[in-house]
């Protein structure tokens, strides 16, 4: 179940406040009205301050570890292989941005509804009849196809999550129809850039989460984005196919004359085995400034957090996996903001 209340100590851990401010600084900010007012909950002879989940982004905007960008950032998360934590990374990245007070939109482009099932938990059901009822509700959900070709409004398409700073355009079964229809469109690669991104100026960050299969939706997302992030597993299957897979992406960039601000390769699923460590070493040595040498280790904590629909840092901020995400996202975000450089 999603965590609904946060104490000052928990906020200290979540936002890494021990690195820069004391607990009293947070409490003083509340007294001065700089952050939302906490509820006072009796606990024995004392009262404990607790903040609601929906208040956390406002606190993050004041005390968080990720800065608000001066202009909107559009990010495409794509890798031509499944099972390398692509969607897990997309959701953790988006939720961490949102917790820090950045207005963030995820756009799901995988017909498997991977990020939608993560961001919009399906209600519990105890019978096949209940499941079929929920399935029919999902089939009636509006998505990108309805906005781009059926004149649905963005308000009809964008869904809100439990964080006021995190929204999603969910995947729907109509993505298959959209992908086929795009083939007949003039300037089809620019459809998202021309007709979607231009209408989403209220968001600080837009993140496309793609299918691992190359298709028209991937091409539209790559064309609309300025930062490309590609998670790559430290396993033999990913290693064997990586060079070929990347050549497809860079060939598309060359043909379309795309100028990306950043292209990042993120090693994932790192294990302690010699093979996994050797593959990681080759990635670091072979891909220069495209590789981000902060790997995400394989851990059951990630699976546990996903079951609860949480980011890893919310689930267990002091875990080694959470430390991987903290270090990685802080480094990546500084690069995306242009505080350090990493070119395509």
SS (H, E, C) 250-282: HHHHHHHCCCCCEEEEEEEEECCCHHHHHHHHH
Q: Are 289 and 175 in a shared domain? A: yes
- Give yes or no: residues 56 and 70 share one domain: no
Which domain, by its residues, includes 12?
Answer: 5-60
CATH number, domain containing residue 170: 3.40.50.300
Please report the pLDDT score of residue 259 as a whole number. 96
| Alpha-helical segments (H) within the chain | 8-14, 23-31, 56-63, 86-99, 114-119, 128-139, 144-149, 154-157, 175-182, 191-195, 216-224, 236-256, 274-286, 300-307, 312-315, 320-336
What value does the mean pLDDT of the chain take? Answer: 91
Of 161, 226, 166, 164, nearest in space to 192 by CA? 226
The count of structural domains within the chain is 2
In angstroms, the CA 68 to CA 327 distance is 18
DSSP 3-state of 74: strand
What is the widest separation between alpha-carbon atoms in the chain? 70
- What are the φ and ψ backbone dihedral angles of 152, each rounded to 5 degrees? -70, 150
106 shares its domain with 20: no
Of residues 343 and 151, the one with the higher pLDDT is 151
Residue 302 and residue 312 in contact, taking contact as beta carbons nearer than 8 Å: yes
Dihedrals φ, ψ of 254, to 5°? -70, -45
pLDDT at residue 343 tops 50: no
Instruction: Render pLDDT for 221-240 as a digit per residue (tens, 0 to 9).
Output: 999 999 999 999 999 999 99
Whether residue 320 lies inside any domain: the answer is yes
pLDDT, position 122: 63
pLDDT at 329: 97
Length of the chain: 344
Give a yes or no: residue 250 inside a domain: yes
Strand partners, 76: 208, 228
Tell whether 10 is covered by a domain.
yes
56 token code pair: 């956390």
pLDDT tens digits for range 129-153:
666 665 556 556 799 999 999 999 9
Position 291 pLDDT exceeds 60: yes
Q: Please determine, for residue 341, whether its predicted confidence score (pLDDT) is greater than 50.
A: no
Whether 32 and 156 share a structural domain? no
Same domain, 54 and 139: no
Q: Is 265 exposed, middle or buried (0-12, 13-18, 19+ CB in 10 A)?
A: buried
Average of per-residue pLDDT across 52-70: 96
Considering the domain boundaries, does residue 196 fall inside one?
A: yes
Percent of the chain with pLDDT over 70: 93
145: β partners? none
Question: Do residues 165 and 284 share a domain?
Answer: yes
Q: Residue 97: pLDDT above 80?
A: yes
The 10s digit of each residue's pLDDT in 35-50 is: 999 999 988 888 899 9
Nearest CA-CA partner of 108 in 227, 26, 192: 192
In the block, tokens 């498997």 appear at: 112
CB 231, CB 85: distance < 8 Å:
yes
Q: Is the pLDDT of residue 78 over 80?
A: yes
Q: How high is the pLDDT of residue 117? A: 87
Give yes or no: residues 48 and 70 share one domain: no
pLDDT at 136: 59
Q: Does a structural domain hold residue 342?
A: no
Q: What is the pLDDT of residue 124?
A: 64
Tens of pLDDT along 167-198? 999 999 899 999 999 999 999 999 999 999 99
Which of 15, 37, 60 is the C-terminal boundary of a domain? 60
pLDDT tens-digit series, residues 105-124: 999 999 887 899 888 866 66
Position 50 scores a pLDDT of 94
Q: What is the phi/psi pair of residue 114, to 5°?
A: -60, -55
- Write down the pTM of the prediction: 0.93
Q: How far apart are CA 105 and CA 26, in angstroms?
A: 28
- Does any domain span residue 341? no
On the CB side of 165, how many CA atoms lie within 13 Å of its CA? 23
Same domain, 123 and 268: yes
Contact 73, 204 (CB under 8 A): yes
168 and 313 co-located in one domain: yes
Query: Which pLDDT value is given to residue 342?
Result: 45
* Mean pLDDT within 12-33: 87
What is the tens place of the pLDDT at every residue in 262-281?
999 999 999 999 999 999 99
Within 10 angstroms of residue 344's Cβ, the number of other Cβ atoms is 16
* 3-state secondary structure at position 40: strand
The pairing of beta strand 205-210 with beta strand 104-109: parallel
d(CA 28, CA 214): 52
Is-contact 17 27, C-beta < 8 A? no
157 and 303 housed in the same domain: yes
310 and 175 both lie in a single domain: yes
pLDDT of residue 34: 94
**Could you tell me which of 31, 99, 96 has the C-alpha nearest to residue 62?**
99
């Amino acid at each position: 179940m999603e965590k609904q209340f946060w104490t000052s100590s928990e906020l200290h851990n979540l936002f890494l406040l021990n690195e820069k401010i004391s607990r009293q600084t947070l409490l003083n900010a509340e007294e001065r009205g700089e952050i939302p007012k906490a509820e006072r909950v009796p606990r024995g002879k004392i009262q404990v301050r607790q903040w609601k989940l929906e208040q956390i982004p406002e606190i993050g905007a004041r005390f968080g570890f990720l800065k608000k960008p001066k202009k909107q950032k559009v990010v495409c998360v794509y890798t031509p292989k499944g099972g390398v934590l692509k969607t897990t990374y997309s959701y953790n990245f988006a939720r961490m941005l949102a917790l820090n007070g950045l207005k963030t939109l995820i756009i799901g482009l995988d017909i498997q509804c991977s990020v939608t099932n993560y961001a919009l938990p399906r209600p519990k059901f105890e019978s096949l009849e209940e499941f079929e009822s929920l399935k029919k509700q999902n089939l009636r959900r509006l998505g990108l196809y309805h906005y781009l070709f059926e004149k649905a409004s963005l308000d009809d398409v964008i869904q809100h999550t439990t964080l006021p700073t995190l929204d999603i355009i969910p995947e729907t079964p109509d993505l298959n129809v959209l992908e086929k229809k795009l083939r007949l469109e003039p300037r089809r690669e620019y459809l998202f850039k021309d007709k979607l991104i231009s209408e989403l100026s209220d968001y600080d960050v837009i993140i496309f989460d793609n299918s691992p299969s190359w298709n028209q939706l991937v091409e539209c997302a790559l064309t609309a984005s300025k930062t490309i992030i590609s998670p790559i597993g430290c396993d033999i299957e990913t290693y064997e196919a990586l060079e070929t897979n990347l050549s497809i992406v860079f060939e598309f960039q060359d043909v379309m004359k795309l100028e990306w601000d950043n292209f990042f390769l993120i090693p994932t699923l790192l294990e302690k085995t010699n093979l996994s460590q050797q593959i990681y070493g080759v990635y670091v040595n072979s891909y220069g400034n495209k590789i981000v040498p902060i790997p995400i280790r394989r851990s059951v904590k990630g699976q546990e957090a996903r079951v609860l629909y949480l980011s890893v840092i919310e689930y267990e901020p002091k875990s080694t996996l959470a430390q991987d995400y903290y270090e990685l996202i802080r480094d990546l975000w500084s690069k995306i903001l242009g505080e350090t450089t990493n070119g395509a």
